[in-house]
Amino acid sequence: MSRVNRTIGILCLAAACFPPLQAQTSVTVFEGARLITGDGSAPIEDSAFVVESDHFTQAGRRGRVPVPAGAVHVNLAGKTVMPAKVDLHGHIGFQHDADGTMAKEYFTRENLVDHLQRIAYYGFSAIIGIGDLVDRSDLHGGRTNWGDVPLRVRDEIIPGAALFRTAGTGIAWPASGANGHPSRTDVPYPVTTVAEARAAVQDNIKIKPEFIKIWVDDRGGRVKKLTPELYLAVIDEAHKYNVPVAAHNVTLADAKLLMRAGVEGWLHLPVRNGEVPDDELLSIIRERIAKKDRPNLWFNPGAGWTASAREVWDDPLLRETVPPQQIQEHWGDYLAKLTPESVERARRNLRQLGATNALKLRDAGMKIVLGSDTGQTRFFIGWMGQLEMENWVWMGLTPMQAIVAATRDSADAGHFNTGLVAAGRNADFIVLDANPLDNIANSRRINKVYFRGKEVDRAGLRAKWQAAWPSRGR
């Protein structure tokens, strides 16, 4: 018995000293970089931050951060680190990127994952798909039978790819929803009565969307738009189930009704096409926040690409991911006419937009978040989000404010555990060769991207995509 007891004792001691393999965790400390944490505080020079498994655990000045014994050390001296970005307004999945064509048939798991890898290449750790191809009711007793690809991908954590969430198909008056390529125009629920509006919400919530998107836009008078009676019914029905609503609308009158009804997000500016927020709208915003009435209000400013100079379009970041003939096909005429004078005019317009519109909404309490509209033929995946963030600086944000909006604030609005270098957040970050606080364009100088503590194989992705390019585009 004594030998048996000794044997048991030795085995117990071994178990204590050598825990099961699955219980062991990897620890890495990244040292020496200038660290922009994403919370708006001053950057940390000569920093150190610790990643345990897939999360940040500590960050601070090198020498002041306790480093666990046995940690792997990675030297990032001379680099700048910022959190990964988040895009809350994507239309990915429909496009075949090798040739730029679009079709419903392309909306497969393989293609959607490829698009998530493309935005990962640009340093985006998460995206919300809007107008996604997912089975819905046709509101007449049938189903579209479009499958469940967005729902399956939403539940996955794919190495080297951004996280994905879906808002589903959205709701609109027939033909007034997703525009652009015909493959997308019939995707939203087409509602024309209050009964259909409520039925669409009841069906939409079954997939547990991040929010329900509504389009309130007559597309320049070409189509009819959702009437107040219809969109107020959508909002009321969604809020019965505590599901947020995000709107694409244009007019000041609609913005006031939507804001009073409790819409939380705006995909584009809430007021556009020459109208601007007035004192009444700003008061509604402040009142909702003061009363804590769905107070987390956000919007996509839509600064786009217009303030980007010609040399921006020659940047390696774009040329590594999009075939030259596609750039020429979709942007050749625009770039040929682009002059320093037209760029300066666009920048003046952006500054005016900031002063009279976007920054007034921000000052009233709404959060600016990144939403690029990417994935629609010429709106190249990843690239449009990058230009969006850069052009915010021409709109009136500082580089630091632009980074915080594109990282922490966008992540928080989308309920993603990313966008910030802080204990408990996913270890998603971008290593840059230059400081974006000196020039926001330096955020394009990406050296490496890490998701959940692992480096994204950008070279492998680049080789895969370029191998599929038409030979004349290589």
On whether the CB atoms of residues 38 and 86 are closer than 8 A, the answer is no
* Helices marked H in 54-185: 109-121, 149-154, 182-185
Per the document, the length of the chain is: 474
Mean pLDDT of 327-343: 94
Mean pLDDT of 273-281: 96
Considering only CA atoms, which of 424, 435, 449, 403 is closest in space to residue 50?
424
pLDDT in tens, 356-394: 999 999 999 999 999 999 988 889 999 999 999 999 999
Considering only CA atoms, which of 255, 182, 181 is closest in space to residue 214?
255
CA 260 remoteness from chain centre = 26
pLDDT in tens, 443-471: 999 999 999 999 999 999 999 999 999 87
The confidence score (pLDDT) of residue 97 equals 84
Q: What percent of the chain has pLDDT over 70?
A: 94
Confidence at 306, pLDDT banded by 50, 70, 90? confident
Query: What count of Cα atoms within 13 Å lies in the side-chain half-sphere of residue 6?
Result: 3
Q: What percent of the chain has pLDDT over 90?
A: 89
User: Mean pLDDT, the chain, as a whole number?
Assistant: 93
| Alpha-carbon torsion angle 108, 109, 114, 116, nearest 10 | 120
Considering only CA atoms, which of 382, 46, 376 is closest in space to residue 179?
376
- Give CA–CA dist 221/137, Å, rounded: 28
Q: What are the tokens at 199? A: 């039925």
- Give CA–CA dist 245/356, Å, rounded: 25
- Give CA–CA dist 107/114, Å, rounded: 11
Q: What are the tokens at 83? A: 């959190």
DSSP code at position 374 = B
pLDDT in tens, 223-261: 999 999 999 999 999 999 999 999 999 999 999 999 999
- Give CA–CA dist 427/258, Å, rounded: 37
The confidence score (pLDDT) of residue 472 equals 52
> Is 396 a residue whose pLDDT tops 80?
yes
Considering only CA atoms, which of 373, 284, 378, 274 is closest in space to residue 322?
378
> Is 439 a residue whose pLDDT tops 50?
yes
Residue 386 Rama label (left phi>0; alpha psi -120 to 50; beta)? alpha
The confidence score (pLDDT) of residue 10 equals 40
> Is 27 a residue whose pLDDT tops 90?
yes
pTM: 0.93
Q: Please give the domain boundaries of the chain with CATH numbers for all domains.
A: 2-78 (2.30.40.10), 85-420 (3.20.20.140)
Confidence at 98, pLDDT banded by 50, 70, 90? confident
> Is 17 a residue whose pLDDT tops 50?
no
The confidence score (pLDDT) of residue 335 equals 94
Computed on alpha carbons and rounded to an integer, the radius of gyration of the chain in Å comes to 24
Q: What are the tokens at 429? A: 């970050």
Considering only CA atoms, which of 137, 134, 144 is closest in space to residue 108?
134
Mean pLDDT of 338-356: 94
Q: Which residues of 194-207 are buried (b: 16+ CB within 10 A; e: fewer)?
A: bebbbbbbebbbeb
Confidence at 25, pLDDT banded by 50, 70, 90? low
- Give CA–CA dist 376/101, Å, rounded: 10
